[in-house]
Amino acid sequence: MDIKKVMVIGAGQMGSGIAQVCAQAGYIVYLNDLKEEFVQKGLGVISKNLSRQVTKGRMTEEEKDKVLSNFIPSTNLQDSENVGIVIEAAVENMEVKSKIFKELDQYAPNHAILASNTSSLPITEIAAATKRPEKVIGMHFMNPVPVMKLVEIIRGLATSDEVYQAVEDMTKSLSKIPVEVNDFPGFVSNRVLMPMINEAIYTLYEGVATKEAIDEVMKLGMNHPMGPLTLADFIGLDTCLYIMETLHEGFGDDKYRPCPLLRKYVKAGWLGKKSGRGFYIYN
């Protein structure tokens, strides 16, 4: 499988990061979102990131221009007819993802791999929306994508060895480190991380300590680079809630019940850094 062109769906936090590392590795990238303005916003973020690299002397102006010339903006999933792999990074919602994969199945060439950057949703169920479940796989990047080394690669029930191998090879070509996991709710990363974040929100909700104190305890006491409430703001509180709901539904255990305070913040539109306010306020 010789992959040269990629489509990234969703130009938000994750999609723009994934698109950036693909373009930097020399892939032609169709960056897709619902509206042209969302695509342009994502491209703006990428351009700013690259400019920072130029300022730091890690990249020349010419190299930056070369990377930017690898992008093709897209608002039509039919553009997937040109690519060898699609990496979907739209919202964490099964209905939305199933609809996207069903449509991609119609347009993408038969040999194309359909990957999802889902944080927690079953790859096997996403694959069931297509007639090519053997070519559907999870490719779970970490946030912020240009910085974080890990990509969790999730095999659905039907994912073929050939597809797994191609995705592992591509991950390495992006200078990332692949780790193989099986398809269970939250995979490894979010099954371990998200209950900790949810518990931190419960400690705030129950008045055990202030948000600053909770973050400080986990930073200084556990040597975490950032506190769990700050991390939740970075991930996006809507995404955190979707993941907790997936764990709760998937395992049916009360220990995964999303904290009511998390639900309240999401209802208020306090989604974390991306909306300007979550547990903390951002400019």
Binding-site residue set for NAD(+):
10-15, 33, 92, 97, 119, 143, 274
**Residue 152 falls in the annotated catalytic set:** yes
Please give the torsion angle defined by the CA atoms of residues 266, 269, 274 and 279, in that order, rounded to the nearest 10 degrees: -60
Identify the three-state secondary structure at position 179: strand
Stretch that binds ligand NAI, among 105-113, 136-144, 146-154, 193-201 (CB under 6 A): 136-144
Site for ligand NAI in 47-86 (CB under 6 A): none
216 among known catalytic residues = no
C-alpha 58, offset from chain centre? 25
Q: Does 278 bind ligand NAI (CB under 6 A)?
A: no
190 is catalytic: yes
| DSSP SS3 for 228 | helix
Distance CA 134, CA 158 (A): 5
Q: Does 32 bind ligand NAI (CB under 6 A)?
A: yes
d(CA 156, CA 180): 11
Residue (102 or 274) nearer to ligand NAI, CB: 274
Has 70 been annotated as catalytic?
A: no
Place of tokens 């690669």: 153
Report, in Å, the least distance between residue 208 CB and ligand NAI. 25
139 in Cβ contact with 115 (< 8 Å): yes
Stretch that binds ligand NAI, among 8-16, 59-67, 165-173, 208-216 (CB under 6 A): 8-16
Query: What SS3 class is residue 169?
Result: helix
CB of 4 within 8 A of CB of 27? yes
Does 101 interact with ligand NAI (rule: CB under 6 A)? no
Catalytic residues: 119, 140, 152, 190
Which spans of this chain sit near ligand NAI (rule: CB under 6 A)? 9-15, 32-34, 38, 89-92, 96, 100, 117-119, 140-141, 143, 235-236, 239, 274
